[in-house]
């Protein structure tokens, strides 16, 4: 008997909506990353994209534990001399409400072409509205997926 290896052609892609309102960021991000990779499917293949599309709503209402709103730092460099930009999680949400979720999920995926392809299947929205109703996404709990 041979081992089944899934591929892009054989993958059954579904659309999933995950509401992260009042969910802890890290726990929600692990669920999202797992669904993007396809680890919840019996046809999971580590080296290929067999996961689902994920729509994340209420990204601006995600929760951080402890003092992370003020203590957690995000760092960006403009590539110019003296261009190191550092800001807190609170400032990051004020600038771009979806940044915390996108960064947390991106850092849980492989740092390869596969990870970049998986990130293209992630759609994050700050409110509870999204333009993907035509795909008939199924609702999924952020922590117990």
Question: CB neighbours (10 Å) of residue 126?
Answer: 17
Q: What is the pLDDT, as a whole number, of residue 4?
A: 80
CATH code, domain carrying 134: 3.90.1180.10
For residue 145, tell me if it sits in a domain. Answer: no
Do the domain assignments include residue 118?
A: yes
93 occurs within a structural domain: no
Residue 23 lies in a domain: yes
**115 part of a folded domain:** yes
Residue 81 CA: distances (Å) to CA of 14, 41, 78, 86, 119: 45, 47, 8, 15, 30
Q: What is the pLDDT of residue 97?
A: 95
pLDDT at residue number 144: 56
Q: What is the pLDDT of residue 145?
A: 46
Q: Which pTM does this prediction carry?
A: 0.91
Question: Each residue of 12-45: pLDDT tens digit?
Answer: 899 999 999 999 999 999 999 999 999 999 889 9
Do the domain assignments include residue 54? yes
Mean pLDDT score, 125-130: 95
Give the pLDDT band of residue 142 (cuts 50, 70, 90): confident
Q: pLDDT tens digit string along 74-125?
A: 999 999 999 999 999 999 999 999 999 999 999 999 999 999 999 999 999 9
Overall domain count for the chain: 1
Distance CA 143, CA 52 (A): 17
Structural domain for 45, as ranges: 15-65+98-140
Report the run of H or E that residue 74 belongs to, with start and end: strand 73-77
């Amino acid at each position: 008997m041979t081992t089944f290896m899934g591929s892009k052609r054989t993958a059954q892609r579904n659309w999933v909506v995950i509401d992260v309102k009042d969910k802890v960021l890290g726990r929600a991000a692990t669920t999202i990353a797992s669904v993007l990779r396809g680890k919840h499917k019996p046809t999971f293949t580590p080296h290929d994209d067999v996961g689902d599309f994920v729509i994340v709503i209420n990204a601006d209402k995600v929760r951080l534990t402890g003092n992370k709103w003020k203590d957690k730092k995000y760092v960006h460099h403009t590539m110019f001399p003296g261009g190191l930009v550092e800001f807190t999680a609170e400032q990051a949400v004020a600038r771009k409400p979806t940044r915390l979720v996108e960064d947390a999920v991106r850092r849980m995926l492989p740092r390869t072409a596969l990870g970049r392809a998986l990130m293209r299947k992630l759609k994050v929205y700050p409110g509870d509205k999204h333009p993907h109703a035509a795909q008939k996404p199924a609702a999924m709990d952020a922590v117990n997926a």
